[in-house]
Structure formats: structure tokens, C-alpha cells
Amino acid sequence: MSDLHIRHATLADIDTVLRFWREAAEGTSISDDHDGVARLIVRDPEALLLAERDGLLAGTVIAGFDGWRCSAYRLAVHPGHRRQGIATALLEAAERRFAALGGRRVDAMVLEANERAHHTWDAAGYQREDHWRRWVKPL
């Protein structure tokens, strides 16, 4: 996609990204606020990838690597730009980052009811594992 530009988000992008997620992402995250996104960018300035078209935000993914696990979060594409390969391009960029850092496998948490997302992860080569459940504890 020649007109698609993928770059790392900076602190200056936070408000735009939060607005974008309200419109484009599936649900909300416990970290969907200014401090939450700022903490991510300060801790790992290369984790939040933005896809822009004509200077406007069209998609996001967080490519998180903690030295052990590669996790893709917040994959979202603007409703007006879907089915144009933007999620595919973002996942390819995330995977290039993980591979360069020595990552071995990518994880994604995907809601059971989000069928569109299932198609997307499947098309990108991801396989669903049925033998896990998420265990959580808010801090």
C-alpha cells in the first residue's frame, strides 16, 4: 500500500489516538486514558504503531514485547478504511518489530464474539488455541 505510512506514536499523538479508539476499536481497555497511553510510549517508544493515510490516522496496533512474550493489542482500523489491507500492513510491521527483537511467537487476545477479528487474525496466519482462559486481577 504505497500511500500508507506506518510510524511510531509519540506523546503528541495521545489525544488523537484516544479519539480514534473510541470510534474504531472494539470495546475499551482499562488503560484507555492519557496516562495509560503515555506510560506505554515512555516505557517503550516503539510499541504503538500508527498507520496514516494522507496524514490522517487510519489504524493502530500496539506491538508489545517485554523480553519474553510478543503481544499485539489494540488492532483497530477506521470504519471508513476497512478491507483495504491496513490491519494486514500493521500486523506485518508489528511482526517485523518482534522478529528484530528476537521474539518467537505473537499472542493476541480476541473476543469470542468478534467474528470479523477472527477472520482478520486467521487471514494473517494466526491460530486460535482453545485450551486457555484469561485470568485477571485489577491492581
Contacts with ligand COA by CB under 6 A lie at 24-26, 75-77, 82-88, 108, 110, 114, 116-117, 119-120, 123
Task: Return the bridge partners of 97, or none.
Answer: none
**Contact between residue 90 and residue 125 where contact means Cβ atoms under 8 Å apart:** no
Question: What nine digits make up the cell of 15?
Answer: 489525544
The CB-of-118 to ligand COA minimum distance in angstroms stands at: 8
The CB-of-122 to ligand COA minimum distance in angstroms stands at: 7
**Contact between residue 64 and residue 24 where contact means Cβ atoms under 8 Å apart:** no
Whose Cβ is closer to ligand COA: residue 50's or residue 77's? 77
DSSP code, position 33: S
The CB-of-95 to ligand COA minimum distance in angstroms stands at: 13
How far, in Å, CA of 86 to CA of 103, rounded?
23
Whose Cβ is closer to ligand COA: residue 42's or residue 83's? 83
Phi, psi (deg, nearest 5) at residue 6: -110, 130
Whose Cβ is closer to ligand COA: residue 21's or residue 65's? 21
The CB-of-106 to ligand COA minimum distance in angstroms stands at: 12
Output helix, strand, coil percentages for the chain, rounded to the nearest 5: 35, 25, 40
Whose Cβ is closer to ligand COA: residue 49's or residue 86's? 86
